[in-house]
Structure 1
Amino acid sequence: MKNCLRVSAVCVYDRDGRLLTVRKSGTAKFMHPGGKPEPGESAAEAGSRELAEEVGIQVAASDLVLMGVWTGTAANESNTDIEATVFTAPGSWAPAGIEAAAEIAELRWMDPARAADFDDLAPLLTDYVLPRLSA
């Protein structure tokens, strides 16, 4: 039987419509900023907190827009599925003001239309989020 982790993730876009992806230390896959909720934290509160911790973006939980909830294969943990609640941050962000922090090793702004050019994207992104963006 597989383990299942609950996570929150946030889509952040720059003024050119590029999506912010992050790679956590010790991993190979790029994904959205986000992570596991702390005890008593809502999915939106976890998304807001993780966004601030990982890339320094301050967005109130109430300002995040729900994109969807999906269950899929975890990118970085074997024999594990994730139940991901994915939000979109309002507005657009200047890449110059966003920096990797906490466990984030690398940032990459990606044109969603060019996602097929990358072979290092997390399953949540390729299987659920990107198809919704192109629909």
Structure 2
Amino acid sequence: MATDDGVREKVAWILLRDQRVLMTRNRGRELFYFPGGKREPGESDAQTLVREIDEELQAAIDADSMVHFGTFEVPDGHPGRGLFRMICYTAGHRGELVPAQEIEEKAWFRHADRDRVTEVDAMVFDALHEQGLLS
């Protein structure tokens, strides 16, 4: 979904364990992405993240634990579309992380795996690494 200024946005979840970060890959794609997705009309970031993680990984995000990590922008990649914005949050969760719907695979990545993710995800990898959160 695009914002009023025409920028496409995604609300993404950053889950860290042992200086690795959770990434997911959709069916038919090679690159991995942070789990999350686009807002439905009228949704807040928290509502979006709760819904998307339930749909993609069958886990329940603890919305009260959400902390904004950062907002990252890159050129959209589609001619005439402008920017793509990814709004990233850390948050606790309940339940096992089980790929569902379009998610074919989940994996735990280190900074060295940044060549296996999209441009905007690589920016987040760099920020995590600079803060000593990603090995």
TM-score, normalised with respect to structure 1: 0.78
The one-letter code matched in structure 1 to 2:7 is C
The one-letter code matched in structure 2 to 1:61 is A
| Distance in 2 of aligned mates of 1:101 and 1:115 | 23
Shift of 1:106: 1.3
1:73-92 CA distance string (max 9 Å, x none): 45xx644542111101238x
Map 1:13-92 to 2 at 5 A. Answer: 13-14=16-17, 16-74=18-76, 78-79=78-79, 80=81, 81-90=83-92
The one-letter code matched in structure 2 to 1:99 is V
1:13 to 1:57, Cα distance in 2 relative to 1, 3 A: farther
TM-score, normalised with respect to structure 2: 0.78
SS in 2 for 1:67: strand
Residue ranges of structure 1 left out of the alignment (5+ in a row):
none
| Distance in 2 of aligned mates of 1:24 and 1:115 | 17
CA RMSD of aligned residues (A): 2.3
| Distance in 2 of aligned mates of 1:52 and 1:82 | 23
The one-letter code matched in structure 1 to 2:113 is A
SS in 1 for 2:89: strand
1:25-52 CA distance string (max 9 Å, x none): 2322101001001111012221121111
Residue 11 (str. 1) matches residue 14 (str. 2)? yes
**Corresponding residue of 1:130:** 125
Shift of 1:65: 0.9
Q: How many residues align?
A: 123
Q: Percent identity?
A: 28
The one-letter code matched in structure 2 to 1:126 is A
**Corresponding residue of 1:105:** 104
| Distance in 2 of aligned mates of 1:40 and 1:110 | 33
**Corresponding residue of 1:121:** 117
The one-letter code matched in structure 1 to 2:129 is S
The one-letter code matched in structure 2 to 1:47 is L
